[in-house]
Structure 1
Amino acid sequence: MGYVYLAIAIVAEVVGTTAMQASEGFTKPIPSIVVVVGYGVAFYFLSLVLRTIPMGIAYAIWAGLGIVLIALTGVVLYKQTLDVPAMIGMGLIVAGVAIINIFSRTTPH
């Protein structure tokens, strides 16, 4: 269940961060509420993840995939652009997460 909880935590964090952009500095009530709920859900499920996945590994996956998903959300929803160095860097993040999951003995398989 650790990876299911981790996926929920990542999605909740992406929702919360996306809503933060929409909240316009917490001046819009509905997106502001979504930020608080999104991060609350994210941290709750991340705490459940830490029961089965080591903290460093869980956080690396959570942060790495969150970065990539937030960047993609920015491109799709807010028409933000990514230059080549940004895309290469995010590719390296995804590669790092893949290496952790495929080769690390510290992750449950």
Structure 2
Amino acid sequence: MNKWLPLAAAIALEVTGTLSLRAALDHPAWYVLVAVGYIGAFFSLSMGLRAGLGIGVAYGIWAACGVALTAVLAAVIFSEALTVLMGAGIGLVIAGVLCVELGSQHAEQGDHA
């Protein structure tokens, strides 16, 4: 579980940075949080990699969760569109990441056999 905590932090920080980028369009002071969010996200992602996450799995989960959370939160916070088709696309992204994760676990098990 130790390697997953930095990845969760990276996702939260990246989503925070991205949503802050949208907020900064109206209030430039938000750019500080944009920088902190993105720098923190890359630092946290590197800590997850150092803890043993594979880059393909980590980046896939990071990207998929980032897309899904950003789309949902942008709809809630900024009243941006979130259509059924967009929801289906988010579901496909998540399914793809699950396939990468399951394939990675299968490959690791094969290496130890």
Q: Judge same fold: TM > 0.5, yes or no.
A: yes
Partner of 1:93: 93
TM-score normalised over the length of structure 1: 0.87
Greater CA deviation, 8-17 or 48-57? 48-57
Matched residue SS, 1:82 = coil
The structural deviation recorded for 1:7 is 0.2
Q: Which amino acid aligns with 2:36?
A: V
Partner of 1:47: 46
Q: Which amino acid aligns with 1:3?
A: W
Partner of 1:18: 19
Partner of 1:28: 28
Q: Which amino acid aligns with 1:36?
A: A
Q: Which amino acid aligns with 2:11?
A: I
Greater CA deviation, 82-91 or 71-80? 82-91
Structure 1 regions of 5+ residues with no counterpart? none
Partner of 1:80: 80
RMSD: 1.9
Greater CA deviation, 33-42 or 90-99? 90-99
For residues 4 and 101 of structure 2, what CA distance do their matches in structure 1 show?
A: 11
Structure richer in helix, relative to its length: 2
The structural deviation recorded for 1:96 is 2.2
For residues 5 and 13 of structure 1, what CA distance do their matches in structure 2 show?
A: 12
Count the aligned residue pairs: 106
Matched residue SS, 1:81 = coil
Pairing 1:96-107 to 2, within 5 Å after superposition: 96-102=96-102, 104-105=104-105
Identical-residue share of aligned pairs (%) = 36
For residues 92 and 66 of structure 1, what CA distance do their matches in structure 2 show?
A: 14
Q: Which amino acid aligns with 2:64?
A: G
Structure 2 regions of 5+ residues with no counterpart? 109-113
Mark the structure with the bigger radius of gyration.
2
Q: Which amino acid aligns with 1:48?
A: M
